[in-house]
């Protein structure tokens, strides 16, 4: 005898994604398939696929009046024992080792939004935001320098702080932790 009230689409312990309570985040979620909303410390956060990372930035600039990309950085989750995954975000997609994080600011609307995309360890690359926000140039170079994540379409993706002949990327969690004397570019007092 079949149970007419059985619901295969809801599994025990799973939470449906929260609807965005921020109009900008809601516009991103509506426009880009697979985008998911969350909040972190009162700020709207939208998780997107890396293939649309630059498209989201262009949408924010052109249609949502976000005049500035404040920062671009990354996180390495290699050694995370427990990892936060927002409700509704598929685990395998967001189980990637790296995440690239961009923070955007709208002076006109006095709003901020954070956009995060997953980056797999075996293909650490995302589209560059420099064609949309030229000020993302140095933060992308810093992220490349320290994490080894490449930004496709970047006009000059070279090291910015570490010496040109430095091997590795020091903010990766598998990089050996030790005190290594380093002379940074332009250091007036080399050690």
Kindly report, residue by residue over 151-169, the tens digit of the pLDDT: 999 999 999 999 888 888 9
Query: Taking a C-beta distance cutoff of 8 angstroms, is the pair 173, 79 a contact?
Result: yes
Q: Which helix (DSSP H) or strand (DSSP E) does residue 150 occupy? A: strand 150-152
DSSP letter (8 states) at residue 177: P
DSSP letter (8 states) at residue 119: E
Nearest to 104 by CA among 61, 40, 48: 61
> What pLDDT, on the 0 to 100 scale, is given for residue 90?
66
pLDDT at residue 190 tops 70: no
pLDDT at residue 8 tops 50: no
Q: What is the pTM (predicted TM-score) of this model?
A: 0.83
The pLDDT confidence band at residue 31, using thresholds 50, 70 and 90, is: very high
Residues belonging to the chain: 191
């Amino acid at each position: 005898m079949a149970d007419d009230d059985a619901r295969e689409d809801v599994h025990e312990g799973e939470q449906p994604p929260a609807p965005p309570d921020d109009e900008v985040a809601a516009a991103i979620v509506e426009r880009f398939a697979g985008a998911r909303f969350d909040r972190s410390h009162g700020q709207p956060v939208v998780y997107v696929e890396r293939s649309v990372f630059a498209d989201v930035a262009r949408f924010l600039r052109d249609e949502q009046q976000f005049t500035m990309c404040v920062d671009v950085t990354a996180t390495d989750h290699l050694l995370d024992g427990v990892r936060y995954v927002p409700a509704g975000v598929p685990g395998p997609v967001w189980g990637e080792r790296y995440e690239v994080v961009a923070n955007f600011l709208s002076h006109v609307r006095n709003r901020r939004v954070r956009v995060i995309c997953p980056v797999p360890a075996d293909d650490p690359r995302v589209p560059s935001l420099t064609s949309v926000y030229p000020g993302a140039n140095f933060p992308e170079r810093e992220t490349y320098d320290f994490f080894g994540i490449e930004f496709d379409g970047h006009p000059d993706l070279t090291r910015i702080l570490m010496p040109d002949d430095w091997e590795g990327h020091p903010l990766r969690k598998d990089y050996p932790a030790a005190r290594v004397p380093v002379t940074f570019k332009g250091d007036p007092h080399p050690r």
